[in-house]
Amino acid sequence: MSNSYPQVQAAARRNVRLYPWYSFLRNLLFWQATWFLFFQNHLSAAEAILLYAIYDVATTVLEVPSGYMSDRLGRRSTLILSATATLLAAILFSMGSGLAVFALGQILLGAATSFASGTDSAVLFESLKADNRSAEVEAQEMRAWRFGFVALALSAASGGALALLWDRLPFVASIGAGSALLCVTYLFQDMRRGTVPTEQGEIALFRSLKRAFCKPVLLWLGALSVAMYVASHVPYVFGQPFILLTLERVGLQSEAPLISGLVAATMMVLSVAASWGAVRLRRGFGLAPTLLFALALQIGLIAGLAWIGHVAAIGLLLTRMIPDSLSRPFILARAQLDLEDESRATFLSIKSLAGRLAFAGSLWTTTLMVAAQSTMTQAEIRLVLSGYALGGVLVWLGLAVLVRRARLEPR
């Protein structure tokens, strides 16, 4: 890097200060609690599930290329592309209609997610490293996590209320959030500026990536991340039709957008609250027990939703994001310690790719189990969730058996 060290240090510190606000704006998703209801109102339940699968497929296709671009061409430009795609998607959903237009919007959202995946965390770690503060990565990841979940809570509650007025208003509000995100992203500075793509650089990247895949700790964390991605997103996709069905039993189906928003907001608040105890839990019991406990909580939630078919089950959804607060910051921080700069974002993108492939494949299977009708039935939801719960138990047992070989605790 051509700049003097004081300039590098100043830029690194600015990146670290901006990062929580980047996380806040990126998570201002006003449509998060009503997207399924929105698609179901304009299309059908099966098409709504299909649209989420399209999002995951789009993210999957772009996941590794985006990580490669980040490692070879720069973090900042990759994040700018992500923010731009977020803004364009919000505009499409605000103005468009029909399956094709919504599918294009989902593809843009997939692009936004893939371009940010791994790159955002790499910006934080490399900025801390440039400022000789690498040891702070776990604390800084947790801080950014809290900022993001406060944003999720605020946007979920307000987005649900906006949807009662007009179901497109949450997407209109997301245009403003996407614009602000783009502005903040422009303020980042790439700590790896000056890296020129060369043939030697390509060889270094692939050798670095090969070394990463030979490390048991990274393989175990990758497998856990895949399992937790699937387990976390099952209630996300099926939670909204579940809420609608349970509210219909007590005659409150018209309030589904608002209640869905309040449920999502409460999820985030509880996750932020749980994060304050996460560090104590991790220090008291160790990293591996904490991560396995988080996955067990996710599996228990899915099983509970499958077999509790009344309004009280909505209370279970409130715990959906607690396992993430007990795991994701620690997973990212631990993985960063064993990754090399040459392939940092690429490896994280491959990890995300595996999770999205697993979940997208399961969703394609799910569409075959759901009738082409306007809403899902209670029996269909129970069948789908039971299958996910059983698979989760088997994966948990496998991870528990292999955890000793991973040696998660850093030396």
DSSP 8-state symbol, 250: T
- Against a cut of 0.85, is the pTM above it? no
State the residue range of the domain holding 110: 5-406
Q: Which tokens belong to 57? A: 């497929």
Higher-scoring residue by pLDDT: 366, 213: 213
Q: Is the dihedral of CA 344, 350, 353, 355 positive or negative?
A: negative
Q: Is residue 383 situated within a structural domain?
A: yes
Q: Is residue 159 situated within a structural domain?
A: yes
221 burial class (0-12, 13-18, 19+ CB within 10 angstroms)?
Answer: buried
Q: Is-contact 335 282, C-beta < 8 A?
A: no
DSSP 8-state symbol, 133: -
Q: Is residue 351 situated within a structural domain?
A: yes
Residue showing tokens 């000056």? 194
DSSP 8-state symbol, 342: G
CA-based nearest residue to 117, from 324, 332, 272, 294: 332
d(CA 16, CA 104): 33
CA-based nearest residue to 304, from 238, 226, 371, 401: 238
pLDDT band at 196 (very low <50, low <70, confident <90, very high): very low
Output the pLDDT for position 2: 46
Instruction: Please give the average per-residue pLDDT across 315-325, as a whole number.
Output: 84
The CATH number given to whatever domain includes residue 177 is 1.20.1250.20
Q: Is residue 411 situated within a structural domain?
A: no
- Compute the mean pLDDT over every residue in the chain, rounded to the nearest whole number: 83
pLDDT greater than 90 at residue 74: no
Q: Dihedral through CA 293, CA 281, CA 268, CA 384, nearest 10?
A: 0
d(CA 61, CA 249): 41
Helix (H, G, I), strand (E, B) or coil at 382: helix
CA-based nearest residue to 122, from 60, 80, 74: 74
Instruction: Please give the average per-residue pLDDT across 238-257, as a whole number.
Output: 66
CA-based nearest residue to 370, from 99, 38, 50, 100: 50
47 burial class (0-12, 13-18, 19+ CB within 10 angstroms)?
Answer: middle
The CB-side HSE value for 144 (13 A sphere, CA atoms) comes to 27
Q: Is residue 387 situated within a structural domain?
A: yes
DSSP 8-state symbol, 311: G
Percent of the chain at pLDDT > 90 equals 29
- The region that residue 407 occupies, defined by phi over 0 for left and psi between -120 and 50 for alpha, beta otherwise, is left
d(CA 175, CA 197): 35
pLDDT greater than 80 at residue 138: yes
**Number of other residues whose CB lies within 10 A of the CB of residue 368:** 7
Q: Is residue 367 situated within a structural domain?
A: yes
- Structural domains in the chain (count): 1
The predicted-structure confidence for 12-58, as pLDDT tens digits, reads as follows: 999 999 999 999 999 999 988 788 778 878 887 778 878 877 887 88
**Number of other residues whose CB lies within 10 A of the CB of residue 254:** 10
pLDDT greater than 80 at residue 401: yes
Instruction: Please give the average per-residue pLDDT across 135-139, as a whole number.
Output: 85
